[in-house]
Chains A and B, each alone.
Chain A
């Protein structure tokens, strides 16, 4: 909402400066986003008279002027304007002045070899108008030497961000009322005189949609002359950013911006029959004043005559019946529309307008007839003509509502103790009526404040006018002692996983939650697709964290990164819900080529496995008991990927090499290892205390024994290790593969697996017989898997 100081002063008697007003507006919730003084941009420009004008010696189109700028000797100025001539009084920009139109700072210079000490300016350069054919010509009596800003008149413009709850402040009058309440002046009492009707209204006016349009008031004014509006009105409209169009249009805009009251003027000759507010028929259409055609439906209220729709009620008039320079007779419409209906219609048509933004927030139902009178008065004054009697179809709601209010609430909720008489004063200055009764007051909100809903709203009114800076800062009550831990187990786990992953050299990324459809498809497809994505690249909610990380990996590799270790902790969006996930992508080089170890090495599936086990270990999972199983997914290399499970069903992670087809879909060339962890699948930790199980290191040293087995090629090493470990649980504390071999010396279809078994003696050291028995158990367990001890 933009308006000038002069316009504000039409409504507010005040001595405050523009800066003081701006500060107060912001302090009471009408945030001033900009305070601009068009005149301030004219600093350094002054009124000057051209004394002489000679041809430039070196240029045909230029003249060399001597200019009287009021003080000092005449200045020499080079000028290209055809109208520059001796005796002309115009506007001179001195060196240092900044041209408003282009921000160019004037300097003393030589133009084609002739010194120039400034510039005579055009209207366009000063942003006073569009004229750029010549320099500004001021009346001959304009005082030479006067600052042009003073001559043009300073009228600062406020740009206020009006919050959606304040339709009353979408008019200058409402803003003036708030300022007056805040002590910045006195609201000028402006009674709106009634304009007597000289004849019965010739047009029938009806509302057939009392729900959408409870009140439709109208009158005809005939014999108007729709020329230009007066300069004072144009100046006010321009300050609001409105281009003056014609007197009738300007007057309706002036009333809308001045009083927050939209209205519409129809060219009477374009109407036929009764003018009616009604529901649109499905499929009916109208071409609006913006030149676009809109298809309407039965949820929308329109104004129509016998022939067609002329107005999308409360939003935008129709092109057909709008007023023009030739309009002689007008029908004025001042109506009150249901705000919700306006909002729905505007949303459905994706059509915004100044009228809609006011109607959907709620215009003052008490200002229907005054608005019509005001319009008529202005039209008669400016355009002449004769007004008809008023036709009133329906009646606006009262708009007033009462709130039961205890003044103690101000301190209880607002935290500031404002004395009840002052509270009452504030409310009354804002137009509320207050009846003091015990224990609670009865406060009636004025019709222009549809936002007032309950006592809390009154506290807000009192506190904002009294001053939020008056609210003392009050410490929150605090629990005794040291602050308690607040993180839930899931939150603590997430933090731990994040820092563990980073500690292992992985870099955390945050990628978009949405993916291009094809990337989601590469990972099994997403369950959630947006109706209105920003772009096709951000359409489907991710079913996996890997696509976003793979795309990021590709961008990094494209930028020349040699090694990419990226992880992210976030959600996957599945049909059944959102699941916390850790995704990891390892691409490019695991180790760079080096003087010590030769060629660069790429990542493999075991790198991904190592990360999974390390992270699951940090998360408290029993990593030595996890099973490596299949079903990692079609996105993975079928022979180099697996799931890690706790028991056969609970999948804690999947990892491995990306399927080359998947890698290609993401434009990734080399081998890419990936992993996805599912922290919510981890069983909850049972222990509640801090003490650990009792433990004393065994007195006797552990011993190791090596076993080399020939096993079928297809036997997973993990199965053999598990069998060996389980073969004598009392003695065997660990078993690990230390050699894998196939080929020379190993029969076809078999491989050799060498296992180091760690034995922990208890009370006494092992003797040969003990060790023989344990070895027999190991070999027997292994043989059940088809393993034979290598001779």
Chain B
């Protein structure tokens, strides 16, 4: 048990090499892969999430902890039964057509990767058709769209409408964000969610995937 606690502690400090090494040690000592995952890696990450919530630690600490978690995951994953492998999912993200402001979108991408998502980042000035095509091509259940200019916000509605026309609304959920946006705007255009920052975007994308039922 002691080593699992130490894995969690090292993970909280963002020490990826130590976490990888100690995960191997724990497995060699005979701990079940699922136990190492739950009581070491995920237990540590839960503490990190709580500390971040109360502002005891900050964004960089969370990202480093996430990196450390994946150093452990890489070791454990091949040994897990298929149903034991945690899957975060895939997300297509981009800044909408006509808009070149991608700092917020990039932050969402960093946070999603930190949370274990596979991120298909289409960059900026992305046309509605490209969002939908990428989601179909990669089998991504979520499209995340960002805008800074009020003039480009209507593009988001086009993506939502296009998914509806193609009968993909159930399979592909949409989330929008950006400085001029609001939850009200998201509702008006029929988007499934609104994220006010990188962390909330990840939380809401997770919720979208959970309600959709399939990753």
- Do the two shown chains form a genuine complex with each other? no
Where the two chains meet, the residues of B that have a C-beta atom closer than 8 Å to any C-beta of A are none
Where the two chains meet, the residues of A that have a C-beta atom closer than 8 Å to any C-beta of B are none
